[in-house]
Structure 1
Amino acid sequence: MPRKKRTEPVALRIEDVHALVAAVNLTDIVLHEERGRRIYWTDSQRDELKFPITANSLGMREEGPEVRFRFRSVFSDERAEFVADVEAVYSADQEITVDEAVIREFAERVAFMAAYPFIRASIYSSASRLNVPAPVLGMVRQGEFSLGEKLTEDESQAAFGDTVSEFTGEADN
């Protein structure tokens, strides 16, 4: 009896965001960083800065049957600074290939909505532990969150690299 040729499984080609929603499940929420610290601004800084100050970043990557979306939010007000770095992990039953435009739409319409409650809770609980008034991060309605420019590899590493230790100030290897 002749042997059947073994073929590698073919990746499922995802054409639109609806197909991606149908193909994946949210399988994990990973907390990469959560911190709050009191900030003692100088008088000149208080005069110059417009509070609150926010900076948000998003990292995305595909790994076989997984698609990962990492959201990092930094929020500063007159009393403190907070960082919440949360990753939403979605998994398919088989390897998938997805156009970047579909991934970006999924990030904006689905993944961010899954991660945002964790970001809000992280910042709120950090403020509570510091015994400072907790900032209320407003509601984000569908369509209000949109991605900015795609980061270069160096910019992505700087935002999400997790390579510097608080103790040494040097890259961890």
Structure 2
Amino acid sequence: MNVVARFLSGRSTRPTVDARRGLQAAAEWLARAQDATGCGGVSANYDAVKRQWAGAYPETTGYIIPTFLRYADFSGNNEYRERALRMAAWESDIQLPDGGVRAGTMDASQIVPTIFNTGQVLFGWLSAWQQTQDGRFRDSAVRAADWLVAAQDPDGAWRRFASPFS
């Protein structure tokens, strides 16, 4: 019998799982990822070997916005609402002139719009607008939606604007 099996065989109960603590820890980790960038966006990842955060990543920041808004409601901690709105404002600041959202992280050398990232950030702007009715978020969402429609092929598919980083 291996060491883990021997250890587990002697346990009479399962470990207690605290879902609220897990959610809190996840939210705190994402908050650290946001703080690490200094711009309002959320870091793409943490490199444990180099012990450093990567640059801000518009795609994941976009879908963290509704996550933080929901977590703020769930936890009663308004800090996460404020963080989500900072993310949405940052996304508006970096939105490309054509309405799309760039591929890759902010430190990527190539700046091109991509369908997937634009769609993810669109969800974030819509969530921020629903919470605030701030016209800036609505306008960013409309510009992104217009860009997505213009990029769509007649048969409904998106064949252009794939990420060069995927």
TM-score over 0.5 (shorter chain): no
Question: Which is helix-richer, 1 or 2?
Answer: 2
Which of structures 1 and 2 has the larger relative contact order (alpha carbons within 8 angstroms, sep 6+)?
Answer: 1
- Normalised by the length of structure 1, the TM-score is 0.28
- Normalised by the length of structure 2, the TM-score is 0.29
